[in-house]
Amino acid sequence: MRGPYRCPYFWPLPLPSMSAMSGMSATTGGGTSGMNGDSPDRTARWGWFLAWLLVGACGGIGLAAILTVGAAFVVLAVVAAVLLLRKGPRRAVVGAVSGLALPLFYLAYLNRGGPGEVCHAVTGGQSCTEEYTPVPFLVAGALLLAVGFVLHATTRRQGHTDPMPRR
C-alpha cells in the first residue's frame, strides 16, 4: 500500500471556512457576526487572570500552612506576583482574589464529613478525627471566587469598545 490509508467514506472531511470560524462575514468584508466576540486580546486577558488566580491560590496555601511548608509557598507567590506585575496588565490582579478561594474549597472538601467526630475503618480498628463544618469554607470560597470574576469582568468592560460597525 502506498501512502497513508484513506477511508473513502470519510476522506476528505469537509472543513468549515476560516471566515466562518473567525466570525468574519465573507459578504460584508470584515464585520463580526460571531455571538461571543472572542479575540486574542480577550483570551490574553483571561490568561493573565488565570495566572493571578494561581498566584492567589499559592499565597492562600502558604498562609494556611505557614507553620509547615507555607513560607515556601508565600515566597513562590511573591516572586510570581513580582514577575506578573512587571510583565502583564495590572487590572488582572483581581484574579488573586479568586485564587484565595481554591484553598478554601480544599478545606471544605477535607471537612466534608463534619461537623463533629468522623471515624474511618483502618487495619486493626478505626481512626477518628474531629472535623469542622465545611459550609463556612464553601461560602467564603464561593464569595471570593465570584468577587474576583465580577471585578475582572467589570474592569475589562470599562475600557471595552463595541467592535460591531454601526449602520
Flag whether 115 is in a domain.
yes
- Determine, yes or no, domain membership for 54: yes
Q: What range defines the domain where residue 139 resides?
A: 40-158
4 assigned to some structural domain: no
* Close Cβ partners of 74 (under 8 Å, ≥ 6 residues apart): 59, 62, 63, 66
Spatial CA neighbour of 109 closest among 126, 83, 132: 132
Task: Give the DSSP H or E segment for 52.
Answer: helix 40-64
Number of domains in the chain: 1
Query: Is residue 112 included in any domain, yes or no?
Result: yes
Higher pLDDT, 106 or 21: 106
* 48 in a structural domain: yes
Give tens-digit pLDDT for 95-148: 888 888 989 998 899 888 878 888 888 898 888 888 888 889 999 999 998 988
Does residue 17 lie within any of the structural domains? no
Q: What pLDDT, on a 0 to 100 scale, did the predictor assign at position 141?
A: 92
Looking at the domain assignment, is residue 85 inside a domain? yes
Looking at the predicted structure, is the pLDDT value of residue 152 above 70? yes
- Distance between CA atoms of 7 and 52, rounded to whole angstroms? 47
